[in-house]
Structures are given as C-alpha cells and as structure tokens.
Amino acid sequence: MGALFVQIAYIGASAAFILGLRGLTKPDTARRGMQLAAFGMLLAIIGTLLNHEIVSYEFIIIGLVVGSAIGLP
C-alpha cells in the first residue's frame, strides 16, 4: 500500500505542477497557479518522506533546517 501511495502522490504532484504552470500564463489565474504548484510540491515532499527506501532522515532534516534558515526574513 505504501509504494502505491507514493506513486499516486508523484503522479498527482506532476499533474499539479503542470496545471500550476498553465495557471501562471495569465495574471487573473496566477494566484491559483501558484497555489496549485505549492500543493504539488507538498504532495511530492510527502510522497518522498513516505518512501520506504529511505534509510536515514539525517540529510533531509539538515536540508530542512538550512533551507528554513535561508528562507527566514
């Protein structure tokens, strides 16, 4: 069940990214396009973290901490 969910999450993330890019073509739909792309990124991250082939989460945690520190204003 876990591998199936990961694959579905990746397919959903790909679709959300594509629809998000399509939404960025017009100023009227740009906000919705960004939200759709962000949702796609969330699906991709959840799918990656639920992948059973990940042995250690150390590098993921380090990347989250460094990225959060850089992203803070």
Domain ranges of the chain: 2-71
Q: Is 55 helix (H, G, I), strand (E, B) or coil?
A: coil
Using a cut of 0.85, tell me whether the model's pTM lies above it: no
CA triple 16-5-53, angle to 5 deg = 110
Confidence (pLDDT) at 68: 93
Q: Which two tokens stand for residue 11?
A: 């397919």
How many whole angstroms separate alpha carbon 7 and alpha carbon 33? 23
Residue-wise pLDDT tens digits, 18-56: 999 999 999 999 999 999 999 999 999 888 888 878 778
Q: Give the pair of three-digit tokens for residue 73.
A: 């204003």
Residue 3 identity (one-letter amino acid): A
